[in-house]
Homo-oligomer: A and B are copies of this chain.
Amino acid sequence: MLICCKLSGMTLQIEPSLFPFFKPQGVAIIGVSQNPTKLGFGLARNLLQSGYSGAIHFVNPNGGVLFERPVYPGIVHVPDPVDLAVVLVPAPQVPGVLAECGERGILSVIIASGGFRETGPAGAALEDACLHVAGHYGMRLIGPNCIGLLDTHLPLDTTFLPPPGPPPGDVAFISHSGAICAAVIDWARGQGFGLSRLVSLGNQLDVRETDVLVSVAADPHTRVITLYLEGVSDGRRFVRAATAVAREKPVLALKVGRFASGQRAVASHTGALAGSESAFGAAFRRAGVVRAETSEELFDWARTLAWCPLPKGPNVAILTNAGGPAVTAADALESHGLKLAELQPQTIARLAEFLPAAAAVNNPVDMLAGASPQEFNRALRLLLDDEQVDSVIVIFPPPPLYTAGGVARAIIPTIYAARKPVLAAVLGERMIQEAVEYFRAARVVEYRFPERAAAALAVLWQRAQYLAAIPEKPQRPVNVHPSTAQATLLRVRGLAPGFLPSEVVNELLAAYGIPTPPIALAQTAVAAAELADGMGYPVALKVASADIPHKSDVGGVRLNLFNGAQVQQAFVAIMTQMETAVPQARIEGIYVQRMIPQGQEVIIGAVQDPQFGPLVMFGSGGVEVEGLKDVDFCLAPLARAEAEEMLARTWAGRKLKGFRNIPAADREAVIEAILRLGQLAADFPQLQEIEINPLRVLEQGQGAFAVDARARVG
C-alpha cells in the first residue's frame, strides 16, 4: 500500500508506516490506570470519550476492569484489530514494552512517557534502546515525552489532556512543545475556532516535524497548518516538504528559542550576522511558510487564512460607526503594506444618499455612532460592490442605540455571500459577546482590537501574492566550472583548516564567473613594483597571510599607489608594520592588485548553516556591516527572483538603481554575482564561509568586481 499526496505538481510520499498513527484500526493503551488523578486514567478516558470508532484496548500488568472494559495484563493478550499502541509506563520499561508490541505486530507506537533524553545520559541511552527495538521490527515511534495526537474528525484522542478536547475544525497544530497543547486547545475554544488535528512530537526519536507536516497536509479536513517549532531536524528536507505543502495549504510557524542559540565563533561579517534566526527567516521565505512572532499571531492568522477568501489586491475599505478606531486601523493597515481603497464616485454618492450629513463617506466610511444594523449592511454591500475595494474591515464598538449582536446578524449574510474577505473588529469584551458568537457560528473572523484585524488581513494579502507569483526554481548559472574550483580546493587540501590564500579565493570566484581585479603575489618590493608595472596603475598592496583575517585592521593594506616608487615604499611600510602589529603571523608576501574605479560597494557572503546548508547574504558592505545591519539572507542556490528580492529588501540593493547624485550601478552584475556565489557555496559545502567585501559595482554595463574576498574551509 503506497498512498501519495499530490501537492503542487510534486508528489510527496506519505510514509505508509505512518498511517496507523492517523487512522488506526485498533488502539491499545499500555499503562492505563484506575486512579483518576493519574495520566494513564486520562488516556483511557480521552480515547473513549473521543468517539473513536475502532477497537479500544487497555493494558496494565495488574489487569482488572476500567470503564467497564477488560484491562489486559500484557499486550500479547490484546485481541485484533490493533495497530497503534500508546505507551505510558516508566521509561526503563519502555524498550521491553516496545519489543512486546513488535512481537504482537504493532508497528506504530506513541511513547507518552517522559524520563528520556531530557533527563540526561541514562535517559538518552534508553532512547537508543528504543530505537534499536524499533529498528528490529520496522516500528515507527512518536515521542517519547509527548502528549500524543488527536484528530477531531476521525475522531481519535490519544492524549491525557484534561477535557474538553478541542472543537472540530480546520486548523492543524503540530508542536515540539507538549506543554503548550492544553493551552492551544483552550485558546481555540476561547477564540472560537476548531482544530482538525493536534500532534505533539516530544523528543522526536523517530517521527519528526517534516513527517507529520506532510501527513497532516494530506488531511482533507485541515485547511491551515500551524507549527510550533523549536528547530528542525533536517532543514533542507523540511524546506522541500513545506514548499510543496504551502502552495496547497497555508503553513504558519512560530519558531521559538531565538535568543537561546548563543554565539558561535565566526570570522566573517556574514558569519557574524548569519545566526540561526537569519537561516530560519530565509528557509520560511523560501518555503512560503508564514512566520508568526507570537503565539497570539499564530492563531489570529490561522483563523483568517482558514475562513476568508483571498483578496485580489491591497485596497481595503474600513466601515465603522467609530472614527477613532478606524484611524487606528488605517495606521495599522498602512504599516503592514496595505492601502486604504479609493472609493468610486458612485459608491460615495450612494453612501451619501442614506448616511447623515456629518458621516464620512470617503474611506474610512464612518457612519457615526447612530448607525443602524441595516445601515451597516447597506454600506457594506456598496463597499463590496466597489471594484476599487479588495477587502473590508468592519469595526464597531458597542453601538449606543443598537446591539452589537444586531449589527452582526444584519451583515453576516452579506459577508457570507461575498467573494472578498470581510473581517470584523468588534471592540469590547462582554457587551459584544452575542455578536462574537454570531460571527463565529458563521465563520466570520472577528477580533477585539482593530490592529489585530489589520495584521491578519495583511497576512491574507501576503498569501494571495505568494500564490499569484509563479514559483521560480534556482537555475544553475552559465559558465560556472565546478571542476576547476574542485581542482583549486584539492590543491590546498593539505593546508590546515582556516582562511584560504587570496589568490585561491580569487581562483574560486573566477571559476564561478565572478570578476576579480588582477592580482599577484610579490615577495620583494622590487618584484611588487614590476608586477604593478605589468597591471597598470593605480594598484593596492595587501599583506598575504592566512593568519590575518582583517587585513586593514592591522595596517596591512595600502591603496592608491600610482607608480613603482610608491609601491616599493608601501611594500616596506607594510612589512615593518606587520612585524610590530602581528609578530606571530606567518607572512607569505604581499599581494599587488590593480585598483578598480570607484563605484557603489556592497557585500556578498555565504555560510553553511548547520540546519539549512548554504545561506547567502547581501547588503551594505565596508567595515560597518554589523553596525548598519542592512543585510538580507536567502538559501542557496537561489532563483533570480530571490536575488531581486534581496536587493529590494536592503538599502544597498535599492540604491543600485541610483539615488540623488549617486549614479545607477550595474544591478545585473550584482544579481549575477549573488547567484554565482550562491552556487559556489552550494556546490562546495566545505567552504564554511566565503565573503566578497566589497563587491565594487561600476556603472551600468561596466560590471562588478570582487575587490576583496576571503574564504574559510572547514
A187-B427, A322-B179 known; A332 and B294 CB under 8 Å? Answer: yes
Indicate if the CB atoms of B627 and A179 lie closer than 8 Å. Answer: no
Indicate if the CB atoms of A328 and B295 lie closer than 8 Å. Answer: yes
Binary per-residue interface labels of chain A (65-91) against chain B in the complex, 1 for a CB within 8 Å, 0 otherwise:
000000000000000000000000000
Instruction: Report A179 CB to chain B, min CB distance, Å.
Output: 3
Contacts of A160 in B (CB 8 A): 400
Binary per-residue interface labels of chain A (653-665) against chain B in the complex, 1 for a CB within 8 Å, 0 otherwise:
0110001111000
Asked if A323 lies at the interface with its beta carbon under 8 angstroms from chain B, I say: yes
A39 to B368, CA, bound (A): 13
Contacts of A293 in B (CB 8 A): 451
A400 to B623, CA, bound (A): 54
Q: Select one of B118, B186, B400 contacting A431, CB under 8 A.
A: B186
Stretch from A54-62, A217-225, A238-246, A257-265 forming part of the interface with B: A257-265
Asked if A183 lies at the interface with its beta carbon under 8 angstroms from chain B, I say: yes
Asked if A507 lies at the interface with its beta carbon under 8 angstroms from chain B, I say: no
Indicate if the CB atoms of A324 and B175 lie closer than 8 Å. Answer: yes
Asked if A363 lies at the interface with its beta carbon under 8 angstroms from chain B, I say: no
A115 to B356, CA, bound (A): 10
Indicate if the CB atoms of B448 and A162 lie closer than 8 Å. Answer: no
Q: Select one of B176, B177, B397 contacting A179, CB under 8 A.
A: B397
Contacts of A228 in B (CB 8 A): 324
Interface residues of A in 471-496 (CB under 8 A from B): none
The count of residues in chain A whose C-beta lies closer than 8 Å to any C-beta of chain B is 87
Interface residues of A in 327-353 (CB under 8 A from B): 327-328, 330-332, 334-335
A369 to B257, CA, bound (A): 20
Instruction: Report A38 CB to chain B, min CB distance, Å.
Output: 8
A256-B328, A358-B114 known; A400 and B182 CB under 8 Å? Answer: yes
Binary per-residue interface labels of chain A (522-559) against chain B in the complex, 1 for a CB within 8 Å, 0 otherwise:
00000000000000000000000000001011000000
A427-B186, A550-B660, A624-B655 known; A42 and B400 CB under 8 Å? Answer: yes
Asked if A105 lies at the interface with its beta carbon under 8 angstroms from chain B, I say: no
Q: Select one of B294, B623, B661 contacting A661, CB under 8 A.
A: B623
Contacts of A357 in B (CB 8 A): 119-120
Instruction: Report A266 CB to chain B, min CB distance, Å.
Output: 14
Asked if A449 lies at the interface with its beta carbon under 8 angstroms from chain B, I say: yes
Indicate if the CB atoms of B654 and A330 lie closer than 8 Å. Answer: no
Interface residues of A in 90-149 (CB under 8 A from B): 114-115, 118-120, 123
Binary per-residue interface labels of chain A (174-190) against chain B in the complex, 1 for a CB within 8 Å, 0 otherwise:
01111111110111011
Interface residues of A in 419-473 (CB under 8 A from B): 427-432, 448-452
Q: Select one of B175, B335, B628 contacting A628, CB under 8 A.
A: B628
A24 to B220, CA, bound (A): 65
A230-B327, A295-B449, A358-B114 known; A624 and B427 CB under 8 Å? Answer: no
Asked if A401 lies at the interface with its beta carbon under 8 angstroms from chain B, I say: yes
Indicate if the CB atoms of B327 and A257 lie closer than 8 Å. Answer: yes
A616 to B382, CA, bound (A): 47
Asked if A234 lies at the interface with its beta carbon under 8 angstroms from chain B, I say: no
Asked if A584 lies at the interface with its beta carbon under 8 angstroms from chain B, I say: no
Contacts of A431 in B (CB 8 A): 162, 182, 186, 189
Contacts of A42 in B (CB 8 A): 400
Indicate if the CB atoms of B553 and A397 lie closer than 8 Å. Answer: no
Indicate if the CB atoms of A296 and B449 lie closer than 8 Å. Answer: yes
Asked if A414 lies at the interface with its beta carbon under 8 angstroms from chain B, I say: no
Asked if A325 lies at the interface with its beta carbon under 8 angstroms from chain B, I say: yes
**Which residue of chain B has its CB nearest to the CB of A295?**
B449
A323 to B324, CA, bound (A): 40
Indicate if the CB atoms of B432 and A186 lie closer than 8 Å. Answer: yes
Q: Select one of B123, B335, B401, B624 contacting A659, CB under 8 A.
A: B624
Indicate if the CB atoms of B190 and A400 lie closer than 8 Å. Answer: no
Instruction: Report A293 CB to chain B, min CB distance, Å.
Output: 8
Q: Select one of B37, B322, B627 contacting A401, CB under 8 A.
A: B37
**Which residue of chain B has its CB nearest to the CB of A189?**
B430
A114-B358, A358-B114 known; A259 and B331 CB under 8 Å? Answer: yes
Interface residues of A in 650-709 (CB under 8 A from B): 651, 654-655, 659-662
A357-B119, A662-B624 known; A183 and B400 CB under 8 Å? Answer: no
Indicate if the CB atoms of A180 and B358 lie closer than 8 Å. Answer: no
Asked if A606 lies at the interface with its beta carbon under 8 angstroms from chain B, I say: no
Instruction: Report A431 CB to chain B, min CB distance, Å.
Output: 5
A259-B334, A451-B294 known; A177 and B430 CB under 8 Å? Answer: no
Indicate if the CB atoms of A449 and B294 lie closer than 8 Å. Answer: yes
Indicate if the CB atoms of A627 and B659 lie closer than 8 Å. Answer: yes
Instruction: Report A323 CB to chain B, min CB distance, Å.
Output: 6
A369 to B190, CA, bound (A): 22
Indicate if the CB atoms of A260 and B330 lie closer than 8 Å. Answer: yes
A330 to B254, CA, bound (A): 14
A352 to B369, CA, bound (A): 59
**Which residue of chain B has its CB nearest to the CB of A328?**
B256
A624 to B600, CA, bound (A): 12
Contacts of A278 in B (CB 8 A): none
Instruction: Report A708 CB to chain B, min CB distance, Å.
Output: 13
Binary per-residue interface labels of chain A (587-630) against chain B in the complex, 1 for a CB within 8 Å, 0 otherwise:
00000000000000000000000000000000000011001101
Asked if A34 lies at the interface with its beta carbon under 8 angstroms from chain B, I say: no
A431 to B188, CA, bound (A): 11
A-B residue pairs in contact (CB < 8 Å), sample of 7: A39-B401, A123-B358, A183-B397, A189-B429, A259-B330, A296-B449, A628-B651
| 3 A-B pairs with the lowest CB-CB distances in the bound complex, closest first | A190-B429, A177-B324, A179-B322
5 additional contacts, CB 8 Å, given A37-B401, A175-B324? A259-B335, A293-B451, A295-B427, A295-B450, A296-B448
Q: What residues of chain A have their CB less than 8 Å away from a CB belonging to chain B? A: 37, 39, 42, 114-115, 118-120, 123, 160-162, 175-183, 185-187, 189-191, 228, 230, 254, 256-260, 293-296, 320-325, 327-328, 330-332, 334-335, 357-358, 368-369, 397-401, 427-432, 448-452, 550, 552-553, 623-624, 627-628, 630, 651, 654-655, 659-662
